[in-house]
């Protein structure tokens, strides 16, 4: 099973914000972490992450800074800002609402089966 | 023989040709690509395979900049702003030339017994100085807007604030250039008193009225745009 394109697009921002809420990180590490956590089933195409990060930064939800990577190259790290945390709370609420409704529906009425 | 480092450099150069990808972006993407290649090599891929897979995963320039339908509409505005700034400074350059020309047409001719013949040359030196100043200004504005942080800050402003700032920059810059070249040219004392032949109505009008008006005009515009910036809603 893999996620549909639409669901990937909708879940990218909450996932990125959640990851950054734990710890500052950089592009490649974010993608690797999602791959690991989803058991390789959420496979973002790497490139699509960057426009999302730019947008979140321009909205002030996250901020970026440069640091030296162990390899010696300079690396751009991202950290979550206060508005980002507030947005994350909002998104988590929305996702759990959908999830709750979904779960209840599954319990109350069995799926249609002819 | 596949040379990994050369391949990465070529890949970077290819991306660098895009106007909407700056040096910071390139550093970030290259770091990503190299990390991914290293991981793939560790998983047992040959350098060339690892490079190709990493490139495919990272995607092309359109994916990296979000130049597809779901992308951020302000992504490319930074670039347009740079051209706008360049246009504004070119306009200032034209303005400087216009000023030079106006000195001849506004009844400020070379009067042989008052002005030394070298003055025409001096005027051209002033014009060249002004153009040089404007060129430096353009470079600074260009570099400033190319900076990622600054570009993003400007991208977040409303179009009206940007227009206000541009107007302030053009008017303020023009009056600054005017004042500098005016005082380098000997100042009001020299123009107004040591050249009795120049005490014509248009000259007096020019130095006593139009010059202060221009300077005074730029101040409220500057003030307005600052107020605009301070009170704007974050969007």
Q: Which residues of chain B approach chain A closer than 8 Å at the C-beta?
A: 24-25, 27-32, 34-36, 39, 57-60, 63-66, 70-72, 74-75, 152, 155-156, 234
Residues B68-100: tens digit of each pLDDT: 433 444 445 555 566 666 666 676 666 666 666
Is A5-107 in CATH node 1.10.760.10? no
Mean pLDDT value across chain B: 67
Sequence spans of domains, chain B: 4-65, 77-231
Residue B7: Cβ-neighbour burial (10 angstroms; 0-12, 13-18, 19+):
middle
Contact yes or no for B100/B123 (Cβ under 8 A): yes
Q: Please enumerate, as own/partner, the contacts of A4-12 that have beta carbons within 8 Å and a separation of 24 or more.
A: A8/A42, A8/A44, A9/B70, A11/A42, A12/A44, A12/A48, A12/A49, A12/A52
| CB pairs < 8 Å spanning A and B | 73
**Among candidate residues B142, B153, B159, B139, the one with its CA nearest the CA of residue B225:** B159
Residue B142 has pLDDT above 90, yes or no: no
Q: What is the pLDDT of residue B111?
A: 46
More confident residue, B98 or A89: A89
Distances in whole angstroms, Cα of residue A108 to Cα of each of A97, A103, B148: 16, 9, 53
Cβ distance B31 to A69 less than 8 Å, yes or no, reads yes
Mean per-residue pLDDT, A65-73: 87
Q: What is the pLDDT of residue B61?
A: 78
Distances in whole angstroms, Cα of residue A49 to Cα of each of A46, A55, A91, B199: 6, 10, 18, 68
Mean pLDDT value across chain A: 86
Contact yes or no for A64/A76 (Cβ under 8 A): yes
Distance CA B50, CA A103 (A): 42
Residue B21 has pLDDT above 60, yes or no: yes
Distance CA A85, CA A83 (A): 5
3-state SS class at A25 = strand
More confident residue, B8 or B176: B8
Secondary structure element (H or E) that encloses residue A106, with its range: helix A82-108
Residues B167-218: tens digit of each pLDDT: 666 666 666 666 665 555 544 544 555 455 556 666 666 666 766 666 666 6
| Residues in contact with B78: Cβ distance below 8 Å, sequence separation at least 6, in sequence order | B20, B145, B151, B152, B154, B155
Proportion of chain B above pLDDT 90, given as a percent: 6
More confident residue, B174 or A113: B174
pLDDT band at A65 (very low <50, low <70, confident <90, very high): very high
pLDDT-wise least confident of B10-24, B70-84, B134-148, B171-185:
B70-84
Distances in whole angstroms, Cα of residue B5 to Cα of each of A47, A76, B15, B27, B35: 21, 21, 16, 14, 13
pLDDT-wise least confident of A85-89, B7-11, B116-120, B134-138:
B116-120
How close, in Å, is residue A82 to chain B by CA atoms?
14
Q: What is the pLDDT of residue B118?
A: 45
């Amino acid at each position: 099973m893999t996620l549909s394109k639409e669901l990937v697009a909708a879940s990218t921002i909450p996932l990125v914000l959640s990851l950054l809420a734990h710890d500052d990180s950089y592009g490649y590490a974010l993608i690797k972490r999602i791959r690991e956590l989803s058991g390789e089933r959420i496979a973002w195409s790497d490139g699509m992450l960057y426009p999302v990060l730019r947008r979140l930064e321009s909205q002030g939800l996250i901020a970026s800074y440069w640091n030296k990577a162990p390899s010696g190259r300079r690396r751009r790290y991202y950290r979550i800002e206060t508005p980002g945390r507030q947005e994350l709370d909002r998104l988590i609420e929305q996702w759990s609402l959908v999830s709750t409704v979904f779960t209840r529906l599954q319990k109350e009425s069995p799926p249609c089966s002819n | 023989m596949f040379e990994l480092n050369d391949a990465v450099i070529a890949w970077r150069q290819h991306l660098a040709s895009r106007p909407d990808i700056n040096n910071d972006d390139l550093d970030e993407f290259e770091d990503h690509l190299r990390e991914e290649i290293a991981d793939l090599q560790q998983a047992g891929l040959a350098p060339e395979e690892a490079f190709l897979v990493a490139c495919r995963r990272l995607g092309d320039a359109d994916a990296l900049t979000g130049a597809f339908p779901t992308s951020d509409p302000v992504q490319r505005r930074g670039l347009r702003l740079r051209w706008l700034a360049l246009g504004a400074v070119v306009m200032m350059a034209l303005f400087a030339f216009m000023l030079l020309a106006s000195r001849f047409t506004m009844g400020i001719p070379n009067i042989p017994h008052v002005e030394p013949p070298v003055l025409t040359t001096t005027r051209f030196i002033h014009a060249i100085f002004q153009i040089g100043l404007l060129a430096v200004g353009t470079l600074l504005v260009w570099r400033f807007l190319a900076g990622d942080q600054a570009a993003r800050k400007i991208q977040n402003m409303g179009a009206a604030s940007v227009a206000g700032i541009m107007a302030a920059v053009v008017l303020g810059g023009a009056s600054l250039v005017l004042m500098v070249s005016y005082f380098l040219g000997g100042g009001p004392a020299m123009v107004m008193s040591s050249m009795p032949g120049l005490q014509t109505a248009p000259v007096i009008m020019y130095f006593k009225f139009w010059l202060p008006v221009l300077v005074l005009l730029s101040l409220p515009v500057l003030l307005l745009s600052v107020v605009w910036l301070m009170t704007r809603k974050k969007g």
